[in-house]
Amino acid sequence: MKKTGIWLDKDKALIVTIENDKETLQTVSSNIEHYNIRGGSGTRQKGGPQDVVQDSKYLEREKQQLKLYFKNIIAKISDSDALVLFGPAGTNKKFSEELHQNHTLLSTKIKGTRKTDSMTDNQVKAWVKDFFVSL
């Protein structure tokens, strides 16, 4: 049985696969740009020049980058028998929703979605081992 744990945030995903008591760790980079949107020109004068910020353009680009990121992760976990998703931000929830909407076969293999802090590679491996032992 191939068990997979995925720690993910917006920067990278750490994929721990346990099969026949052998574990492997893969890293998938997200390549998602971090936007620092600032409106205005920095002037404090009343009626000074104003820049219009198109939030929707930035949000749409981020949405497309997330889809590509999730597609890259799915390619690495498609043959897993059991999945657990965890991480410090809401990215794991978004990934879970993506699986439920577009990859129902994989979504049935999700055994849990947990919120955790940032971890080192060894902590991620240990967390995944402990999760599947406690099932």
Q: Alpha carbon 103 to chain centroid distance? A: 16
Domain contains 58: yes
Domain contains 42: no
pLDDT over threshold 60, residue 79: yes
Q: Alpha carbon 47 to chain centroid distance? A: 42
DSSP per-residue string spanning 76-129? HHTT-SEEEEEESSTHHHHHHHHHHHH-HHHHTTEEEEEE-----HHHHHHHHH
Q: What is the CATH number of the domain that holds 80?
A: 3.30.420.60
Domain contains 41: no
Domain contains 92: yes
Domain contains 73: yes
Res 46: pLDDT: 64
Domain that holds residue 93: 3-36+52-133
Domain contains 47: no
Which residues pair with residue 6 across a beta bridge? 15, 85
Task: Give burial (CB, 10 Å; 0-12/13-18/19+) of 42.
Answer: exposed
Question: Cβ(5)–Cβ(16) under 8 Å?
Answer: yes
| pTM, entire model | 0.85
Question: Cβ(27)–Cβ(13) under 8 Å?
Answer: yes
Domain contains 43: no
> Structurally, how many domains does the chain consist of?
1
Domain contains 46: no
Tens of pLDDT along 6-65? 999 999 999 999 999 999 999 999 999 877 655 555 555 666 555 666 778 888 999 999
Q: In angstroms, rounded to a whole number, what is the distance separating the alpha carbons of residues 7 and 128? A: 9
